[in-house]
Amino acid sequence: MRQGPVLLVLILLASQCSGCLSFDNDESKTIRLATTTSMRDSGLLDLLIDDFQKTSDYTVEYVAVGTGAALVLGENKDVDALIVHSPEQETDFVEGGFGYDRNAIAWNRFVLLSPSTSTSSIFDAFEAIYENERCFISRGDFSGTHHKEQDIWRSLNESNGLPMVEDADGYHPEGEWYYSIGQGMGAAINMADEKSCSTLSDRGTALNFAQQTSLERTEFSDDILFNPYSFLFVSDMERQGAEEFLNYLLGDGQQRIEEYTINDQPAFFTLESSD
């Protein structure tokens, strides 16, 4: 049932994404950004870019992919900056000399989307899914969300001894109930809804899809679900425009992030908001 994620395919498909890197504008005034699908799918990114461009000479062209694919674009110097949400991968990226000046810009929490759940902890919820072999949809694309899912499975293996495997789909349980699809958050939510499965999602995208699915959103207080978003400069690439965009995100952009809601609920939280 599992399909191995193909990172190259994600990158090749990037040109089909909203806000793709067209380079129709003067490249000296174009900021090339690779960002997570959750920033796009929540609707926040387009709002921030539109607001920034009203007062800037720079145009932001972006491609939205999983964090893993975004970091590869950075390593290949195909973009000037990144917005991603996988701290360990970001640290490796910076330590590898591919980027620098990692700046937190916002945060939210991961949530569980499922037909129903009655547990009070994400670990109990995942263990119940495992023990009862309930259908689970994994992004399987080595995005920040996929890495967080693997962290939860790894913790359950260490604390409760649940057997896991590690292969081309990452670190996960075995079973025909577990689907690794190698696609973005929207595709994972749609498949989970169609098959009455569970999936892990960032809060912003979950809110944006709330009226399109019958899945219940459950929010847990476990520390592991904290989800920070960071802006990184890519080494040896355009700095001035990227720095201007970051200054906006840390300035006026913070108010836009704080004010942004989906169905009257905040999708992201600012740096001054406590967890």
Domain ranges in the chain are 7-108+226-266, 110-224
* Packing angle, helices 67-75 and 144-160, rounded to 10: 120
Q: Do 110-224 and 7-108+226-266 have the same topology in CATH?
A: yes
The string of pLDDT tens digits covering residues 183-232 is: 989 999 999 999 999 999 999 999 999 999 999 999 999 999 999 999 99
Indicate whether 52 pLDDT > 60: yes
d(CA 154, CA 57): 46
As a whole number of Å, the end-to-end CA separation of the chain is 37
d(CA 42, CA 9): 23
**pTM (two decimals):** 0.85
State which CATH number among 3.40.800.10, 2.60.40.1730, 3.40.190.10, 3.30.365.10 fits the domain covering 7-108+226-266: 3.40.190.10
Indicate whether 128 pLDDT > 70: yes
Sequence letter at residue 168? A
Domain 110-224 has CATH 3.40.190.10: yes
Bridge pairing between strands 198-202 and 136-138? parallel
